[in-house]
Amino acid sequence: MSAIVRVCAELTGKAVVLFDRRQRRIAAAGPNFAGRISMPSLETILRSYPPDATAGPRPVVLAAGPTTDLARRKIVTPIVERGEHFGWLVIDEHPTPLRPTDEYTAARSARRIGAQFLIQRRIARVAWNAKSALTRQLVRGTGAQEDLAASGEYLGVNTEARRVLVFVQVPDGETEDLDHALVEHLERSLGVEVLSTRGSEGLLLLVEASDDVGSVVAVSRVKTAITQAAAAVSQPTGLIAGVSSVCEPAAFSRAYREAREVVRCVDRFTEPTAHRILAVDDLGPVRVFLANGDVAALRRFVGDVLGPILGDAPGSADLLRTLQCWFDAGRSPRGAATHLGVHENTVRLRLSRVHAMTGLDVVGNAADQLSIQTALLVLRFQGHPALVVPGRMAAGEVDLHASARGLTTDSQPHTRSDSVGATGAAMPA
């Protein structure tokens, strides 16, 4: 396309600039005596473009003057091929005046450029499909390592790179090119390679992890980038994403199952009030229980474990909040006290009250600790108001407290949750 723009500039003897649909400058050229090419932004140029001319590919001459913010006249030609608009070709009236033949040259050049856009898109689609197939093989763990490496070398993909796997449950009504938009946004935001493939249940992304960044930081950056990408390219609500830890290629299959379990947990216990992104490490192994257990049984489990402190009795909310902060602080009374703004002895006293009221030894019994942590996680998912701890939410983390649906014995499970079975994860088709 640069060559076509250069020929157009030579034939017209004027400065020529090619813009894409996003108003980015793709190529520019001018006659040898034109010097440096200066062109207003496409947004400024199109202010004078007649609305009734947008459907046709014919060149339009825009006048100069104070009403148009243009210092010189312009020939503006939309790049349209087979009914699809790819961009704009702009010829500036500099350094020579416009001639009748310039419009003909612009029209012919635009047709040639449109054909090139179509060819490049076909090539890009073939490369995209090939990378998608390679991504599916990497996640499945199928194919000999030598064959995968050869395919990766041909496509310019590092098949040995450590990556973060992201499983995205696509909202209903999303466009088919959501995966393209997400990949483009992530690559631009993170500056790393992102592979993608679609399965029967959602979209799968493999985000390359930089060697100079720790695993925790890498996962946090991916969560933040996914959150920003979802806000930029998706509907206001509905997208759910599970983010794995950083893993080697041999662990992609396990990472897929874990990320999918996270998505199922989020889908079962939260309302679609916003995009919801969680990492595998945010839930831990308890995600298996939450993703596959019966919803009604889980509600009963929470009531059995924490029932005595779930009521409206004075101090109940403080006990729940103290339990959550104590676990968040690595079972440290000092850490929990700092977060809550109370004395360490207050934390110890509250933990003793929990033991007395529930019969569970939260300090000394590992099994009781697991039971309480699981129950607290379900409550957090369901937005229990006592567990809205200021400062807990990190960038990119799903807001588990967006809905204030307290857990009650007669509340109904999420309608989508009941349809989720307890079967294992299905690999991408």
CA distance 421 to 193: 34
State pTM to two decimals.
Answer: 0.66
Least confident of 47-51, 122-126, 314-318, 418-422: 418-422
Q: What pLDDT score was predicted for residue 35?
A: 57
Tokens of residue 226, six digits: 């996914």
Residue 298 reports pLDDT greater than 80: yes
What length does the chain have?
429
CATH number of this structure's domain 2-122, picked from the four choices 2.30.30.240, 3.40.50.1820, 3.30.450.40, 3.40.50.150: 3.30.450.40
Tell how far CA 34 is from the center of its chain: 44
Could you tell me the pLDDT band of residue 429, with boundaries at 50, 70 and 90? low
* DSSP states of 88-110: EEEEE--SS---HHHHHHHHHHH
> Over 80: is that where the pLDDT of 286 sits?
no
Contact 281, 245 (CB under 8 A): yes
For 52, counting Cβ atoms within 10 Å of its Cβ (0-12 exposed, 13-18 middle, 19+ buried), the class is exposed
Q: Is-contact 31 78, C-beta < 8 A?
A: no
Average pLDDT, integer, range 249-256: 93
Same fold, 2-122 and 128-280: no
Per CATH, the architecture of 128-280 is what? 2-Layer Sandwich (3.30)
Per-residue model confidence (pLDDT) at position 401 = 36
Q: In this structure, which long-range contacts are made by residues 84-87, counting pairs with CB atoms below 8 Å and at least 24 apart in sequence? A: 85/21, 86/20, 86/21, 86/113, 86/114, 86/117, 87/18, 87/19, 87/20, 87/21, 87/26, 87/113, 87/117
Of the candidates 245, 254, 310, the residue with the CA atom closest to the CA atom of residue 283 = 245
Exposed / middle / buried, residue 187 (Cβ in 10 Å: 0-12, 13-18, 19+): middle
- Phi, psi dihedrals of residue 48, rounded to the nearest 5°: -95, 0
Q: Where are the domains of the chain?
A: 2-122, 128-280, 293-392
Q: Is the pLDDT of residue 63 over 80?
A: yes
22 pLDDT higher than 80: yes
b (16+ CB within 10 A) / e for 197-226: bbbebbbbbbbbbeeeeeeeebbbbbbbbb
Q: Does residue 294 register a pLDDT over 70? A: yes
Per-residue confidence (pLDDT) for residue 252, from 0 to 100:
95
Please answer whether residues 370 and 248 qualify as being in contact, where contact means their C-beta atoms are separated by less than 8 angstroms: no
Of 33-37, 95-99, 387-391, 398-402, the one with minimum mean pLDDT is: 398-402
* pLDDT of residue 418 exceeding 50: no
Least confident of 6-10, 45-49, 55-59: 55-59
Place of tokens 């229990």: 384
User: What is the pLDDT confidence band of residue 390, given thresholds at 50, 70 and 90?
Assistant: very low
The pLDDT score that the predictor gives to residue 164 is: 96
Residue 422: pLDDT band by 50, 70, 90 thresholds? very low
Is pLDDT larger for residue 55 or for residue 85?
Answer: 85
- Cα–Cα separations (whole angstroms), residue 102 to 8, 15, 16, 105, 106: 9, 12, 11, 5, 6
Instruction: Encode pLDDT of 231-243 as tens digits.
Output: 888 766 678 999 9
What's the pLDDT tens digit per position in 68-120?
889 999 999 999 988 888 999 999 998 889 998 999 999 999 999 999 999 98
Q: Which residues contact 223 (CB under 8 A, 6 or more apart)?
A: 243, 277, 279, 394, 395, 396, 397
Confidence band of 179 (pLDDT split at 50, 70, 90): confident
User: How far is 172 from 339, CA to CA, in rounded Å?
Assistant: 40
- The mean pLDDT of the chain is 83
Q: What percent of the chain has pLDDT over 70?
A: 86
Tokens of 221: 């950056």
Kindly state the tokens that stand for 394.
């990190």
In this predicted structure, the answer to whether residue 49 has a pLDDT above a threshold of 50 is yes
Residues 293-392, CATH architecture:
Orthogonal Bundle (1.10)
The predicted-structure confidence for 110-130, as pLDDT tens digits, reads as follows: 999 999 999 988 888 899 899
Residue 402: pLDDT over 70: no
- Cβ atoms of residues 228 and 189 within 8 Å: yes
Report the distance separating Cα 177 and Cα 156, nearest Å. 22
Question: Using CA atoms, how far apart are residues 101 and 238, in angstroms rounded to an integer?
Answer: 53
Read off the pLDDT of each residue in 183-210 and give the average, rounded to a whole number: 92
The residue among 307, 301, 330, 329 whose CA lies nearest residue 319 is 307
Hey, how many other C-beta atoms are within 10 angstroms of the C-beta on 95?
14
Read off the pLDDT band of 171 (50, 70, 90). Answer: confident
The predicted structure's pLDDT at residue 175: 64
Supply 156's token pair. Answer: 């310019």
Q: Give percent of the chain above pLDDT 90.
A: 46
Q: What is the mean pLDDT of residues 238-256?
A: 92
Q: Which of 119-123, 313-317, 409-413 has the lowest mean pLDDT?
A: 409-413
In this model, does residue 3 exceed pLDDT 60? yes
